[in-house]
Chain A
Amino acid sequence: MSASLTVPAVGAKRGFTWRPASVLPGFRTSLTITLLWLGIIVLGPLAVMLWFTAGMGWEAFLGTITTPRVLADLWISLRSALYASLANAVFGLLVAWVLTRYNFPGRRIADALVDLPFALPTAVAGIALSTLYAPDGWIGALLVPFGLQVAFQPAGIVVAMMFISLPFIVRTVQPVIEDLEPEQEEAAHLMGASALAIFIRISLPAILPALLTGFALAFARCLGEYGSIIFIAGNRPMVSEIVPVLIVQELDQFDYQGATAIGVLMLAVSFLLLLAINLLQAWVRKRHGG
């Protein structure tokens, strides 16, 4: 234990050293448990998936993931997830802002409501949403005169995704807004900056890294969502069918390799996108000295 008591310079982030950046003991134990936990819970299933896929060979793998249906469904999944997370980036930020900056009757209830999509079983959410947005539903009926239909159309996928991913943006952005010092905004105001300029040049740069994290989380959640979407999407191949539905179909046809191949494709695409968002986030942090 003596090794862990030699306190290293805090902030030595880079480079691979075995020294803990904490004065608290238990480095070895906690690291072992961490690696075991990640190995069993996260890496295990991923390894099985790759193992299954490895058995099929490159050509079969490429053949499976480049069929028009897989590509079309992938595009539907990505596009819908992007729309939903972008919409939530705007409106989730607004919700977080209002919940932290203003006081109004029922604020606590509104704040608690944000967590509801976390807790609600996704199938329940899906059934409720599709009932609401069906052409004879409460909201769906209002849209019919405008020639719009949400349930059982690609738009339905986005609505379900917006529902399940909202808390990710709100909950990541909220603490940052709470920590923002109003003095900065007040100073800018006294120096004659317009409200818009204050928001864009003072508040937003401070919030942006957290917003990007929230966006990435929301996006990843949208891509992986299955339970609620199957009820509202209509699931028409190449029109309103998301990739996870396709994976289940492959499984139901006893094509395990085909299913895992598409799973690996999803994994690769998600990884690349999350990497890109992380790089973007690092760049923003550097630029604004966050």
Chain B
Amino acid sequence: MAITLSRRQALSYTAAAIGAAGAAAVTGKPAFADANTLLNVSFDPTAQLYAAYDKLFATHWATKTGTTPVLHYSHGGSGAQARAVIEGLPADVVTLALAYDIDAIAKKGLIAADWQSRLPNNSTPYTSTIVFLVRKGNPLNIKDWGDLIKPGVQIVAPNPKTSGGARWNVLAAWAWALKNLGGEKAALGYLQKFFANVPVLDSGAHGSTLTFTQRKIGDVLVGWESDAYLSIKEAGPGSYEIVRPSLSILAEPPVALVDKNVAAHGTTAIATEYLTYLYAPEAQDLIGANFYRPSAPAAVAKYASQFPLLDLVTIKDFGGWEKAQPEFFGNGGYLDQSFGASGASFFGVGG
């Protein structure tokens, strides 16, 4: 679901930027003279969060500087968004699903290499985790990762090659399998069975959520806790149930200033404030209200019942993204090994 209205806005924004650049070439003025304009390039599941945050920030910036900011945003698959920024989408800040995607932009020289140490908590103002969303009454009695690979269970999950959230899925599943089934071979076997049970592999978390909730496909949706809460909020209480597995992962979607772009646009001040303010108490409260896990003590206490403490592994347990990415998601990695042609039939098995 790369093409959303917001994405289209981003495209027209890009077109406008090209036009502006052309105009600048003629007039000799910088293309982005407006220091109150900002483009936030983000991933799919944060659309609601940033729609709310932009309102909060606009008020904050107006009180602080006396000017109303113009806030643009773009949402899409995390990897695709990072690629768009690398290829010239004039993002002032990126707020993506995982550090690896921001690292990829940093490698191209658009962001300083030490970006993750510039803001608190590894530049992660909010976290989430991977949970299961099941249909009303949990008819298949799904409790933990082990229940997902039973024959006949249909899992809806996005493709880890294109979706940041799906990569957190795989790592969480792996951690559970390693602990409970013992050994890499068993964990790989688990992944194979997991993906054999996925009838539709969407390109992003948003697409998978639509497949599960709108198309009514599958018994369980594996994905972001925030998305699970959003689905329940949209469909009404009692429509779905959240199942928390015995072991999951701390999903850390980080944020960063795109140094080269803000320097060119003259937007360093507003972009820096946009990211720093995410850690302010009122923003942290908003984060909790939008189903992401806050880190500020007051917000943590307020939303404690919404976010029960779980047994979580972190990306550090996998040696960081630099190690985990090629090992799991690179060509020939664990993920490639867990895809197979088994069970392929032209019309599938109906019923």
A residues apposed to B, CB below 8 Å: 64, 67, 69, 72, 123, 130-131, 134-136, 143-150, 152-155, 230, 234-241, 245, 248-249, 251-255, 258
Taking a contact as CB atoms under 8 Å apart, the answer to whether A234 and B161 are in contact is no
Which one of A136, A147, A154 lies within 8 Å of B344 (CB-CB)?
A154
State the Cβ distance, A6 to closest chain B Cβ, in Å: 47
B residues apposed to A, CB below 8 Å: 3, 77, 79-80, 82-83, 86, 104, 159, 161-162, 195, 198-203, 215-217, 329-332, 336, 339-341, 343-351
Taking a contact as CB atoms under 8 Å apart, the answer to whether B104 and A254 are in contact is yes
Taking a contact as CB atoms under 8 Å apart, the answer to whether B339 and A237 are in contact is yes
Taking a contact as CB atoms under 8 Å apart, the answer to whether B331 and A238 are in contact is no
Taking a contact as CB atoms under 8 Å apart, the answer to whether A149 and B341 are in contact is no
Residue of B nearest to A158 (CB): B346
Taken together as a complex, chains A and B put the C-alpha atoms of A251 and B347 apart, in Å, by: 30
State the Cβ distance, B202 to closest chain A Cβ, in Å: 7
Chain A residues in 8 Å Cβ range of B161: 249, 252-253
Chain B residues in 8 Å Cβ range of A236: 195, 198-201, 339
Taking a contact as CB atoms under 8 Å apart, the answer to whether A234 and B201 are in contact is yes
Mind listing 23 A-B residue pairs with CB under 8 Å?
A72-B341, A135-B217, A136-B216, A145-B350, A147-B347, A152-B200, A153-B345, A154-B348, A155-B348, A234-B200, A235-B201, A235-B203, A236-B195, A236-B198, A236-B339, A238-B339, A245-B203, A248-B203, A252-B80, A253-B161, A253-B330, A254-B86, A258-B331
Which one of B217, B330, B336 lies within 8 Å of A134 (CB-CB)?
B217
Taking a contact as CB atoms under 8 Å apart, the answer to whether A239 and B347 are in contact is no
Which one of A67, A72, A149, A230 lies within 8 Å of B348 (CB-CB)?
A149
Assuming the contacts A67-B332, A134-B217, A148-B350, asked whether A239 and B162 have C-beta atoms less than 8 A apart, the reply is no
Give 9 nearest A-B pairs by CB, closest first.
A252-B79, A153-B348, A147-B350, A237-B339, A249-B161, A238-B341, A149-B348, A239-B344, A148-B347
Residue of A nearest to B329 (CB): A253
Chain A residues in 8 Å Cβ range of B82: 254
Assuming the contacts A64-B331, A238-B340, A254-B104, asked whether A135 and B350 have C-beta atoms less than 8 A apart, the reply is yes
Which one of A130, A136, A155, A230 lies within 8 Å of B203 (CB-CB)?
A230
Taking a contact as CB atoms under 8 Å apart, the answer to whether A134 and B350 are in contact is no
Name B's interface SS.
Answer: loop
Taken together as a complex, chains A and B put the C-alpha atoms of A64 and B330 apart, in Å, by: 12
Most chain B CB neighbours (cut-off 10 Å) among A131, A143, A148: A148
Taken together as a complex, chains A and B put the C-alpha atoms of A143 and B343 apart, in Å, by: 20
Tell me how many residue pairs across A and B have CB atoms closer than 8 Å.
103
Taken together as a complex, chains A and B put the C-alpha atoms of A1 and B346 apart, in Å, by: 62
Taking a contact as CB atoms under 8 Å apart, the answer to whether B350 and A149 are in contact is yes
Residue of A nearest to B199 (CB): A152
Given contacts A146-B350, A235-B200, A248-B80, 16 further A-B contacts (CB under 8 A): A69-B339, A72-B341, A134-B215, A147-B349, A149-B347, A149-B349, A150-B347, A152-B217, A155-B348, A234-B200, A234-B201, A238-B344, A241-B201, A249-B161, A252-B80, A254-B79
Taking a contact as CB atoms under 8 Å apart, the answer to whether B341 and A239 are in contact is yes
Chain A residues in 8 Å Cβ range of B215: 130-131, 134, 136
Taking a contact as CB atoms under 8 Å apart, the answer to whether A152 and B216 are in contact is no
Which one of B83, B201, B347 lies within 8 Å of A155 (CB-CB)?
B347
Taken together as a complex, chains A and B put the C-alpha atoms of A146 and B349 apart, in Å, by: 10
Chain A residues in 8 Å Cβ range of B349: 147, 149
State the Cβ distance, A271 to closest chain B Cβ, in Å: 25
Taken together as a complex, chains A and B put the C-alpha atoms of A44 and B297 apart, in Å, by: 56
Most chain B CB neighbours (cut-off 10 Å) among A69, A136, A248, A255: A248
State the Cβ distance, A238 to closest chain B Cβ, in Å: 4
Chain A residues in 8 Å Cβ range of B201: 234-237, 241
Taking a contact as CB atoms under 8 Å apart, the answer to whether A235 and B202 are in contact is yes
Most chain B CB neighbours (cut-off 10 Å) among A131, A237, A245, A251: A237
Taken together as a complex, chains A and B put the C-alpha atoms of A98 and B226 apart, in Å, by: 55
Assuming the contacts A136-B216, A254-B79, asked whether A155 and B346 have C-beta atoms less than 8 A apart, the reply is yes
Assuming the contacts A235-B203, A249-B162, A253-B79, asked whether A69 and B336 have C-beta atoms less than 8 A apart, the reply is yes
Taken together as a complex, chains A and B put the C-alpha atoms of A251 and B159 apart, in Å, by: 14
Chain A residues in 8 Å Cβ range of B79: 252-254
Chain B residues in 8 Å Cβ range of A69: 336, 339
Taken together as a complex, chains A and B put the C-alpha atoms of A143 and B79 apart, in Å, by: 37
Residue of A nearest to B202 (CB): A235
Residue of B nearest to A130 (CB): B215
Taken together as a complex, chains A and B put the C-alpha atoms of A149 and B154 apart, in Å, by: 15
Chain A residues in 8 Å Cβ range of B198: 236
Taken together as a complex, chains A and B put the C-alpha atoms of A249 and B167 apart, in Å, by: 13
Taken together as a complex, chains A and B put the C-alpha atoms of A258 and B326 apart, in Å, by: 14
Chain A residues in 8 Å Cβ range of B340: 238
Residue of A nearest to B215 (CB): A134
Taking a contact as CB atoms under 8 Å apart, the answer to whether B348 and A152 are in contact is yes
Chain A residues in 8 Å Cβ range of B351: 144, 147
Chain B residues in 8 Å Cβ range of A144: 350-351
Residue of A nearest to B162 (CB): A252
Assuming the contacts A234-B199, A248-B203, A254-B104, asked whether A153 and B347 have C-beta atoms less than 8 A apart, the reply is yes
Taken together as a complex, chains A and B put the C-alpha atoms of A44 and B203 apart, in Å, by: 29
State the Cβ distance, B97 to closest chain A Cβ, in Å: 12
Taken together as a complex, chains A and B put the C-alpha atoms of A248 and B348 apart, in Å, by: 25
Taken together as a complex, chains A and B put the C-alpha atoms of A69 and B333 apart, in Å, by: 12
State the Cβ distance, A138 to closest chain B Cβ, in Å: 14
Which one of B199, B216, B331 lies within 8 Å of A67 (CB-CB)?
B331
Residue of A nearest to B105 (CB): A254
Taken together as a complex, chains A and B put the C-alpha atoms of A245 and B82 apart, in Å, by: 18
